[in-house]
C-alpha cells in the first residue's frame, strides 16, 4: 500500500513537471517517468508529452505564420490605397 502511494505521488510530481516542459525536454521527462514509476507512467507520460508537443509551436510554424500575416497586411494596405484613389475611406 505504501509503495502505491509513493508511486502515485511520484507520478503526480512527474506529470506536473512534464506539463511545464516544452519541446524535446518532454521526451526526457517521459523517459524518466517511465524509469521511476513503471510501465503505466510511460503510457501516461507519452499522452502528456504528445499534448505538450501539440500546443507548442516550432520555428518553422512561427515563421510561416509571420509571413502569412505580413502578406495579409500588405494586401489590406493595397486595398486601402485603391479605395482612397476612388475617394472612399479605408
- Would you kindly state where each structural domain of the chain is located, as residue ranges? 1-56, 58-90
Question: Per residue in 5-51, pLDDT tens?
Answer: 777 777 777 777 666 665 555 566 556 655 655 655 555 566 666 66
Provide the pLDDT for residue 3: 72
Higher pLDDT residue, 66 or 23? 66
Nearest to 45 by CA among 57, 28, 59: 28
- Report the residue count for the chain: 90
So what's the pLDDT on residue 10?
78
Work out the end-to-end distance of the chain between its first and last CA atoms, rounded to an integer number of angstroms.
70
Q: Which of 4, 43, 52, 1 is nearest to 25 (CA)?
A: 52
pLDDT of residue 64: 96
Amino acid at each position: 500500500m505504501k509503495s502505491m502511494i509513493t508511486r502515485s505521488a511520484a507520478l503526480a510530481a512527474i506529470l506536473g513537471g512534464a506539463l511545464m516542459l516544452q519541446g524535446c525536454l518532454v521526451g526526457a521527462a517521459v523517459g524518466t517517468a517511465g524509469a521511476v514509476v513503471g510501465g503505466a507512467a510511460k503510457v501516461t507520460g507519452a499522452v502528456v508529452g504528445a499534448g505538450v508537443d501539440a500546443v507548442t509551436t516550432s520555428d518553422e510554424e512561427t515563421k510561416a505564420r509571420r509571413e502569412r500575416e505580413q502578406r495579409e497586411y500588405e494586401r489590406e494596405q493595397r486595398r486601402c490605397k485603391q479605395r482612397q484613389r476612388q475617394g472612399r475611406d479605408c
